[in-house]
């Protein structure tokens, strides 16, 4: 496999999944976000969002805090320091791969 394509295949799949990439990117722009906001922002169903959040939490990339506002449940999601580093690294890798791919020519 040619180098840029090999590097694409080696990206961190926990971060690179399009839904999880959207979640992590949104969280990188703020201190925390509530579950319903993330669902609206990403367009994910509540069940799908919950599944992705569980995977990211298990991977140590985000923290989930459940609380009540009055009598209403509220779930806050925030990046861990590892999560913030992972999303920054991932976007850096994608940018580098984009640059490498523009230089790549067939047969080299």
Domain harbouring 50, CATH code: 1.10.10.10
Q: Domain range for residue 59?
A: 3-103
Phi-psi category of 43—alpha, beta or left, where left has phi over 0 and alpha has psi -120 to 50?
left
Task: Say how many C-beta atoms besides its own lie within 10 A of residue 24's C-beta.
Answer: 25
Range 26-51 average pLDDT: 97
Range 27-52 average pLDDT: 97
Q: What is the pLDDT, as a whole number, of residue 100?
A: 81
Q: What is the pLDDT, as a whole number, of residue 32?
A: 96
Q: What is the pLDDT of residues 52-73, one digit of tens each?
A: 999 999 999 999 999 999 999 9
Give domain status of residue 40, yes or no.
yes
Q: Which residue has the higher pLDDT, 12 or 79?
A: 79
Range 77-81 average pLDDT: 98
> Would you say 85 and 15 are in contact if contact means Cβ atoms under 8 Å apart?
no
> Would you say 84 and 28 are in contact if contact means Cβ atoms under 8 Å apart?
yes
Distance CA 76, CA 66 (A): 6
Give domain status of residue 108, yes or no.
no
Range 9-26 average pLDDT: 93
Q: What's the domain count of the chain?
A: 1
Q: What is the pLDDT, as a whole number, of residue 1?
A: 42
């Amino acid at each position: 496999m040619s180098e840029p394509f090999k590097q694409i295949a080696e990206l961190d799949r926990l971060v690179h999944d399009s839904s999880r990439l959207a979640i992590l990117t949104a969280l990188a722009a703020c201190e925390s976000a509530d579950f319903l906001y993330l669902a609206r922002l990403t367009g994910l169903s509540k069940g799908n969002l919950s599944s992705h959040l569980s995977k990211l939490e298990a991977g140590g990339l985000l923290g989930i805090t459940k609380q009540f506002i009055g009598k209403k449940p509220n779930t806050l999601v925030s990046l861990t320091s590892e999560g913030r580093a992972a999303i920054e690294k991932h976007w850096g890798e994608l940018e580098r791969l984009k640059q490498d791919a523009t230089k790549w020519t067939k047969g080299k």
